[in-house]
Amino acid sequence: MANKWDELHTDVLVEIAKLIRMSEEDYVAFRGVYTSWGSAATNDNFMFRNCPVTLLMLPSRKDCHVLHFYNLTKRIVTQVNLSEPLTGKRCVSSKGFLITIDQGLNVNLMHPFSNLQHKFPNLTTIIKNGNLLLITNCALSSNPLLEPDYILMVICRTRKLIYARPGDETWTVLSQNRRGNYFDITYYEGRIYAANCFGKIRAYKVGEVDKSSKKELVAKLPIKLPPYPPPRPYIVESARALLIILRYIHYDPNKRPGLFSHLYPKLCISLNVLYHSSTINLTVSPPTSTLLSHTF
């Protein structure tokens, strides 16, 4: 038996990693003990993928080098120190990672618990005279800690879908919608799904070699959506199904027209369950005005 923890044989560390079920925070901590421990705790033999933990990132205060996450399972707040501040950056979360975009449209992928980072091509390679307000949403196809061959998807100018893989020198245009704004995007069973303001959900199959894409209208919500203000669709995966959640926006009549500082979700409708990429069932749940009542 080794007298020092860093002298444990690799095969012993591998067996330990296989037997332990941990969260992503524990996974990063395990890998960071010693170099040999990090080599043993690979994606194939670690079991934290079966133990998802939902973390809520709390609003940052003065020091943007520090983030606070609330663990819904343990009901504790974890403090994380970042290698660089988030001041002046657009920040989106996906698959446990943070996607940051600065004023110069530089895109960086960062894991908050390990400070593992990966830089993507600058968005100016595909957006001319752009700014942060033109970036609507971002999403990852999979967790980069588990799947190295992942895709980063971005909705820019609300009508253009672009994506890039690690190592790409520029972004690839997936679709440019001339009519209707895209609000949300996700990756599910090999296809990219995008929802627009007209209640249409399109699926895109991305080629592995030539990076070409084929789009397909897979569903249209069986209700007529109001033109203004349009509800915001969100694509949510749950229990191996895709759900479309509509968030209706209520504008306070006592506020001046054109000001969007006082918005809150008025009612929420759950619709459109996609059990498989080839089978689509449309169901509408009755709306409720009390499901969401938080004021942002």
In three-state form (DSSP H/G/I as H, E/B as E, the rest C), the secondary structure along the chain is CCCCHHHCCHHHHHHHHHHCCCCHHHHHHHHCCCHHHHHHCCCCCCCHHHCCCCEEECCCCCCCCEEEEEECCCCEEEEEECCCCCCCCEEEEECCEEEEECCCCCEEEEECCCCEEEEECCHHHCCCCCCHHHEEEEEECCCCCCCCCCCEEEEECCCEEEEECCCCCCCEEEEECCCCCEEEEEEECCEEEEEECCCEEEEEEECCCCCCEEEEEEEECCCCCCCCCCCEEEEEEECCEEEEEEEEEEECCCCCCCCCCCEEEEEEEEEEEEEECCEEEEEECCCECCCCCCCC
Number of neighbours of residue 162 by Cβ within 10 angstroms: 22
* Residues in the chain where the model's pLDDT stays below 50: 1-2, 48-51, 209-210, 257-296
pLDDT of residue 292: 30
pLDDT of residue 198: 76
pLDDT of residue 288: 39
Domain residue spans in the chain?
1-52, 53-86
Report yes or no: 202 and 217 within 8 Å, Cβ to Cβ.
Answer: yes
Tell me how far apart the alpha carbons of residues 41 and 146 are, in angstroms, rounded to a whole number: 12
pLDDT of residue 269: 42
Tell me how far apart the alpha carbons of residues 10 and 176 are, in angstroms, rounded to a whole number: 50
pLDDT of residue 135: 79
Radius of gyration of the chain (CA): 21
